[in-house]
Structure 1
Amino acid sequence: MLLLAFGIFPALYAVFLSFTRNGAFVGFENFQRVLSDYRFWPAVQHVSLYIVVWLVVLTLFAVLLALLVHGLHARWASTGVRFFYYIPGALAGASSVMLWLFLLDPTVSPVSGVLHALGIETFVKAVSLDNLPVVFTLIAFWAGAGGWIIILYGALNNVPQEVMEAARIDGAGPVKTAWHIQIPLMRKWISYMMVMSLAAGTQLFVEPRVLSQASKGVVPPDYSLNQLAYLYAFKQNDFSGSAAISILLLVVAAGLSALFVFRGGLFERD
C-alpha cells in the first residue's frame, strides 16, 4: 500500500500532468516548452558533470578504502575505521551542507591553509560555478561514501578463502589479488553502488539550494534540474512543466541505470 500511495501513484500522476495542461491533453507540448527553456540545458550540463565526477570519485575511493580496511588484520582497527567512515552518514543532507559552508569559507575554515594554497581566498570563489562539481562531490562523498565502503567490505568478506589462499600460493601480491580476484568478484556490488548513486545524483537539490542562499545568488537558483522543476511548480505555478522535467529526468536516469545493471551483471547468477 505504501508503495502504491507514495511511489507508483505519484509517478503515474506526474506522467498525466506532463501530457496535460489545465486538464486538457496537449501531447508533447510541455516537453517542447521545457526543452526550449534557456535554463534547461545549462542545468543538464551541471548535473551531468557532477554525476560523472561523483561516480568516478566514489567508485575509485570507495573500492580502494574498502580494500584497505579489509586488509587490516587487527579486528579492533578494522571495526574502528569502519565506524569512523560511517559517522558522517549520520548527518542529514542540509546539516552536512551547513558544515561544509564553514569548511569552504577561508575566513573561518580550519583548513584555510589548504584553501589558500589552492588559490581560494574567499567563499564566493570557493563556490564558483567551475568549482561546484568538485564541491558537491566532496559533500556527497563525505555524507554517503562511508555506507558504501561498509557494503563493499561485506562483499569482500564473501570472497572464498580458498581463492585467496590459491592467489597467495601462486605468488600474487595485494595489488594483483585485488585487481584480478577481489574487484571482479565485487562487480555486482559496484554496479549496485553506481545505480543507487546515479539515482541520488540526479536528484541534486539540497546542496545547490543551500549554497545559493548562503552565497546570495552566486550559485544560481536553477543550477540543477530538480531546482528548475521546483521553480516551475512553485514560482511559475506550472506543474505540467515541472512534471515534464521530472519525467525526462526519470527516463534518462532509468536508461543509464539499466546500462549499469546489464553491464555489471547485477542480476546474473553465479
Structure 2
Amino acid sequence: MGLGFVAPFLSVFALVFVAPIAYSGYLSLYRTRLIGGTTFVGVQNYADVFGDTHFWSALARVALFLLVQVPIMLVLALAVALAVDSGRLYGAGVFRLSIFLPYAVPAVVAVLMWGFLYGPQFGLVAGLNRTYGWSIPNPLGPDLVLASIGNVVTWSYVGYNMLIFFSALRVVPLALYEAAAVDGASPWRVIWHVKLPAIRGSLVIATIFSIIGSFQLFNEPAILRPLAMNAITTDYTPNLYAYFLSFSGQQYNYAATVAIVMGAFTMVIAYLVQLRGMRGMGDR
C-alpha cells in the first residue's frame, strides 16, 4: 500500500530526473561522426573533456564567481535576517517583504531589467554618462561582466536565503536567550554564541544551494550575451558551453559528457561542504 501511495511521485521522478540522467550517460559513451555514423567510444569523451581548455576556463570562471559572490550574498542575507529577528527594526514586516520581492521576479525578467540598466548605449549607465559627462565603466565589458552577473544573482537571491535564515532563527529556543541574558551577554555575543550556532544547519543548506546554483550558472550569461557583445563567449560557463555544443555545434554526445562531468563535480563539492558542516555540528 505504501508503494501505491508513492508510485505517482516515483513515476514522475523517474521520468523527469532519472531517465534524462541515464540517457545523458548513454550519450556520453558514443560519438557521432560525419563518416562512420555513431560509434561507441567508451570513456574517450570524458578524456577529451578533462583535456579541454575551454571547459577548464569556464569552470575556473564559475569557481571565481562562487568564491566571491556566494560569501557576499550569504553575509548580506544573514545580516538582514538578524536585523529582522532582532525586534528592533522599525517596519520589519515591510522590510522583510521588500528584500524577498526580487526573488519573486522571474529570472528572465530580472536579467533583462538589469541588462537595460547596464546598457552602455541605451540604459542607465549611458544616460548618466551623457547627462553628467561621466565615464562610468561599461558594466557589460569584459572586465566587469562577471561582477555584473554576480550583482544580478545577489539581488535575486538575498531574499530567498534571508527567509531560510529567518525561519531558522524563529525556532531558536527562548531558553537560550534567557540564559544569555542572565550571563550578561551583549547583543553581539548573543549573535556569535547563540544564534549562529543554532542555525548552523540552515547556513550549511544555504551554502550548498548556492554552490549548486553557481556551478549551474546559465540564465544570466545567456540572456546578457547579446548585450555584452564579445564579453560573454560561448564557453563562458560550463552550462553555456554544453548548451552551445549541443544546439549550435550539434555535438550532443560531447555536450552530454560535459553535463555529466559538471554534475559529478557539483555533487562532490556539495557533499564535502555538507560533510564538513555537519561534522562541525556534531562536534558541538
Task: State if a TM-score over 0.5 links the two structures.
Answer: yes
Show the 5 A alignment for 1:1-270. Answer: 1-22=11-32, 23-73=38-88, 77-105=91-119, 108-109=123-124, 121-122=136-137, 125-265=138-278
In the TM superposition, what is the alpha-carbon distance from 1:160 to its structure 2 partner?
0.7
Question: Which secondary structure state, in structure 2, belongs to the residue aligned with residue 213 of structure 1?
Answer: coil
Q: What is the one-letter code of the residue matched to 1:84?
A: S
**CA-CA distance at 1:98 after TM superposition:** 1.0
| Letter aligned with residue 29 of structure 1 | Q
Q: Give yes or no for contact 1:212–1:218 (8 Å, CA) kept in 2.
A: yes
User: Is the contact between residue 208 and residue 221 of structure 1 (CA under 8 Å) also seen in structure 2?
Assistant: no
Indicate how the Cα distance of structure 1 residues 64 and 202 shifts in structure 2: closer, same or farther if over 3 A, else same: same
Please list the CA deviations of residues 1-31 of structure 1 after superposition, one character each: whole Å capped at 9, or x if unmatched.
1111110110111111112224533122112
SS of aligned partner of 1:21: strand
User: Which runs of no fewer than 5 residues in structure 2 stay unpaired?
Assistant: 1-10, 33-37
Identity %: 25
Maintained 8 Å contact 1:70/1:156: yes
Structure 1's 149 and 233: CA in aligned 2 closer, same or farther, altered over 3 A? Answer: same
What TM-score, normalized to structure 2?
A: 0.85
Provide the C-alpha distance between the structure 2 equivalents of 1:6 and 1:67, rounded to a whole number of angstroms.
38
**How far apart are the structure 2 equivalents of 1:66 and 1:132?**
29
Runs of 5+ consecutive residues of structure 1 not aligned to the other structure: none
Which of 25-34 and 242-251 deviates more? 25-34
CA contact (8 A) 1:53 1:134 kept: no
Scaled by the length of structure 1, the TM-score of the pair is 0.89
**1:268 Cα deviation after fit:** 7.1
Contact 2:141 2:228 (C-alpha < 8 Å) held by counterparts: no
Equivalence for 2:7 = none
In structure 1, distance between residues paired with 2:149 and 2:229: 18
Question: Contact between 1:152 and 1:186, CA under 8 Å: does it hold in 2?
Answer: yes
2-side partners of 1:35 and 1:234: how far apart? 22
Distance 2:48 2:242 in 1: 13
Deviation at 1:111, TM superposition (A): 11
Is the contact between residue 47 and residue 202 of structure 1 (CA under 8 Å) also seen in structure 2? yes
Count of residue pairs brought into register by the alignment: 265
Compared CA separation, residues 88 and 264, structure 1 to 2 (3 A): same
Cα deviation, residue 113, structure 1 = 6.5
